[in-house]
């Protein structure tokens, strides 16, 4: 591996690790703030205890809100550390945001109650069962990436071009007839 790629690889790895850490925190917060769905044990399986409860959509909504915040934090932290390598930072943000979403989803699911169907079999009919924490709208997994990349695009657009950035771009003569 050439020496010109090592700093960029370090930026991408550092950003991905930041996303991993933020994913653990986001998953714990998601589990903490999200109300659980309520099921009732009926003859032959489970039924919804209250279809009008907001908990049926709360997991997706909270994941979206927390994902946007975590994506903004990911960009803010890594911009402060690695702003001199914007190309590597974009790659790192994509990797970090993907890790952030997947880890948060996993951590929240592990911390939440077990799958209601596996618990319900051992309970008497009429018992209430907490639903497990999960997502119905898998599109919310993209929330950290969208917010992180939007903020990164804004920061790159308004950031002054520094000597460090100029050294990354090879200087070629521009014009007609140059060869």
Per-residue model confidence as pLDDT tens digits over 141-167:
999 999 999 999 999 999 886 665 555
| Of 102, 113, 139, the residue nearest 26 (C-alpha) | 102
14 has a pLDDT exceeding 60? yes
CB-based contacts of 92: which residues, under 8 Å, 6+ apart?
A: 11, 12, 13, 14, 15, 16, 78, 82
Between CA 34 and CA 152 the distance in angstroms is: 29
91 has a pLDDT exceeding 90? yes
**Per residue in 39-65, pLDDT tens?**
777 776 766 666 666 666 888 999 999
What's the pLDDT band for 36 if we cut at 50, 70, 90?
A: confident
135 has a pLDDT exceeding 90? no
Between CA 111 and CA 38 the distance in angstroms is: 17
Between CA 78 and CA 92 the distance in angstroms is: 9
Q: Return the minimum-mean-pLDDT range out of 35-39, 69-73, 172-176.
A: 172-176
pLDDT, position 40: 74
pLDDT, position 25: 98
The 10 Å CB-count burial string (b at 16+, else e) for 19-58 is beebbebbbebbbeebebbbbbbeeeebeebeeeeeebeb
Burial class (CB in 10 A: 0-12, 13-18, 19+), 8: middle
71 has a pLDDT exceeding 60? yes
73 has a pLDDT exceeding 90? yes
């Amino acid at each position: 591996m050439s020496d010109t790629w090592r700093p960029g690889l370090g930026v991408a790895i550092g950003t991905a690790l930041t996303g991993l850490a933020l994913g653990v925190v986001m998953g714990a917060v998601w589990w903490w703030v999200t109300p659980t769905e309520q099921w009732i044990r009926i003859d032959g399986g489970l039924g919804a205890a209250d279809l009008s409860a907001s908990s049926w959509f709360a997991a997706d909504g909270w994941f979206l809100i927390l994902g946007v915040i975590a994506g903004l934090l990911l960009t803010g932290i890594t911009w402060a550390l690695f702003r001199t390598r914007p190309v590597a930072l974009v790659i790192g943000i994509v990797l970090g945001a993907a890790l952030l979403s997947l880890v948060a989803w996993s951590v929240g699911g592990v911390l939440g109650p077990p799958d209601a169907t596996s618990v319900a079999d051992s309970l008497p009919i009429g018992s209430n069962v907490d639903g497990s924490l999960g997502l119905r709208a898998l599109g919310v997994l993209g929330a950290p990436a969208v917010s992180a990349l939007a903020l990164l695009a804004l920061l790159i657009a308004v950031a002054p071009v520094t000597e460090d950035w100029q050294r990354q771009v090879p200087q070629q003569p521009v014009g007609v007839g140059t060869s």
